[in-house]
Amino acid sequence: MKINDQQFGRPQILYKATKTQIEATPNPQAGMIAFATDTNQIGIYTSGGWQWGTGGGDMLKAIYDTDNDGVVDAAESVDWAGVQNKPTTYPPDSHNHAAGDVTSGVLDAARIPNLDASKITSGTLSTDRFSAYSDLQAESRIGGTSNQVVTSYYMRREYYRATITHDFDNALPSGWSWAGAPFVIPTINYLGGTLLTISPGAGNRAFLTSGSSYLAQSKWINGIFLETDASSPNTYIGYRTDDGTEDNYLEIVLVGTTLPNMQIKSRVRSGGGVVTETTHATFQRCWIEYLGIIYAGSSYQIVVYEPARVAYSPYLTPAFTPSRCGIICSTSASWQIMAIDGIGGVW
């Protein structure tokens, strides 16, 4: 019998013997190896006694399962590369997730519940989600006051609105007056505390002068209404500047003409000569949001806004030295009137 390749016991006792003889060996030491000739088994002596293999080539538990857990030690930890016949995919079984588990991706729109309007803080809503225009009208939701949807006209009107410095509440602006002959003092009324109506009478002109020397300034007339018939070439309202006489003046005015149109005309007189009238623009009749009088380098231009710009004259330069300016009005029939909502700018 040998241990660690060294003879154990008497020399005549070989490491080959029957199993009974081997197990009867006195004082065996751990690690002894012997071969049982009667059973053809290899045995090893451990602290638990002789351990015998079950046949040739069998793995000994003492060697291959040292922790005695019934699993070959080498099989308890196998490298991934050593695993054979691995699947290529690992499809999950059908399952559900709680909403709190979903932190990315895009949900199907059908899965999204209805939300209160206060929860929608960005993005663009389809027009299909809005009430029909007729419904909004029936609910008094369209207009220019609070809690109403403004119309495009109202938005343009507010965008182009010129500041009113005098609203014709119940009196003329301070310093303003009606010029004397050859002009007339018209019949006037203050409507609603904001609108001045003017009626010079058939074939008459009225000239409302500003009474100031601010001729070289831009200014405007707000909210003009002009009542005319089918053709009223002598019914007009607009801007006039002169030298204090009827001999030298420049008028740029709105004129009633063939329905449904209006015109911008200039009326010029120099040195008491013939009055020259020139038509500069023709446009459809409308409520004039304001008539702008633009001054630039000794020249004057008028621009019609309703509420955006719809027509304008060229720049016209007087052939005299102006000394006063104001609003000129003329009517061809006694029933005709015109109205002004206010004035602005520097007069």
pLDDT beyond 80 at 74:
no
Write the CATH number of the domain with boundaries 177-345: 2.60.120.560
Q: Report the C-alpha gap between 255 and 265 in whole angstroms.
A: 7
Average pLDDT over residues 16-44: 85
Q: Per mean pLDDT, which range of 7-11, 92-96, 247-251, 274-278 is the poorest?
A: 7-11
Residue 34 contacts residue 22 (beta carbons within 8 Å):
yes
pLDDT beyond 50 at 11:
no
Residues of the chain above pLDDT 90, percent: 28
Q: Per mean pLDDT, which range of 189-198, 222-231, 308-317, 320-329 is the poorest?
A: 222-231
For residue 70, what are the CA distances in angstroms to 5, 31, 65, 170, 341?
Answer: 29, 21, 7, 113, 107
The residue type at 74? A
Residue 190 contacts residue 184 (beta carbons within 8 Å):
no
Sequence ranges of the chain with CATH classification 2.60.120.560: 177-345
Average pLDDT over residues 265-272: 95
Between 52 and 10, the more confident residue is 52
pLDDT beyond 90 at 7:
no
Res 206: pLDDT: 97
Average pLDDT over residues 316-336: 92
Q: Report the C-alpha gap between 266 and 320 in whole angstroms.
A: 16
Considering Cα of 108, then 113, then 116, then 118, what sign does the dihedral take?
A: negative
Q: Report the C-alpha gap between 256 and 174 in whole angstroms.
A: 30
Q: How many helices (H) and strands (E) does the chain have?
A: 4, 20
Considering Cα of 247, then 252, then 258, then 259, what sign does the dihedral take?
A: negative
Q: Per mean pLDDT, which range of 28-42, 145-159, 179-193 is the poorest?
A: 145-159
Res 10: pLDDT: 46
pLDDT beyond 70 at 197:
yes
pLDDT beyond 70 at 119:
yes
